[in-house]
Amino acid sequence: MAPRSHSYGHQITHVDGEWVYADTGRPVWQAEDRPCARCGRKAVQVDVGLLISRQPIDACIADIVKALNDAGVYTTTSCCGHGIRQGWIGLLDGRVLRIEETEAYRENERVRLVQREDG
C-alpha cells in the first residue's frame, strides 16, 4: 500500500516517487492554487517574520498571523489544520501556538460556507 498523507486537507498518496492528489492524480507540487478542503479558500500572501518577506498563509488564520507579525511576534510557519488536525502557528522564538476551534468559530464557518454557496 502506498504512503498517504494530506495537503490542504485533501488526501494525497505517494506514487512513482512523487506525491499526488488521490482524487485527481495531479502532482501536489503542480497544484499550489488548490483551496483548503475545510473552508474552501485558497492561501493568501502575508508579510511575515524577519527571515521571509511574504509567505502563503491559510486564509482562515491569515488575520491572526498578520496581527502577530505586526505586533512584533514573528512567525515562521503555520497551518489551519484543514479539518484533519489541530491548527498551529510557529513562532520565530521556537514556541508554537495551537489553534483550538470553539463552537462559535465552527458556527461562524458554517454561516460563511452557506453564504458562499448562495452566491
Same domain? For 26 and 41 the reply is no
Q: Which three cell numbers stand for residue 11?
A: 488526501
Residues 6+ apart with CB under 8 A from 40: 113, 116
Give pLDDT, residue 51: 60
Q: How far apart are CA 93 and CA 81, in angstroms?
A: 21
Question: How many angstroms separate the Cα of 64 from the Cα of each of 46, 48, 68?
Answer: 11, 11, 6
Give pLDDT, residue 105: 67
DSSP secondary structure code for residue 85 in this structure: S
Q: In the predicted model, is pLDDT for residue 119 greater than 60?
A: no
Using CA atoms of 14, 17, 20, 22 in order, give the dihedral in degrees to the nearest 10: -40
Give pLDDT, residue 91: 92
Same domain? For 85 and 30 the reply is no
Q: In the predicted model, is pLDDT for residue 32 greater than 70?
A: no
Is residue 96 very low, low, confident or very high in pLDDT (cuts 50, 70, 90)?
very high
Which residue has better confidence, 36 or 32? 36
Residues 6+ apart with CB under 8 A from 93: none
Query: Which domain does 98 fall in, by range?
Result: 37-118
Same domain? For 46 and 94 the reply is yes
Same domain? For 78 and 48 the reply is yes
Percent of the chain with pLDDT over 70: 81
pLDDT digits (tens, 9 = 90+) for 51-94: 666 778 888 899 999 999 889 998 888 898 888 888 999 998 99
CB 64 within 8 A of CB 86: no
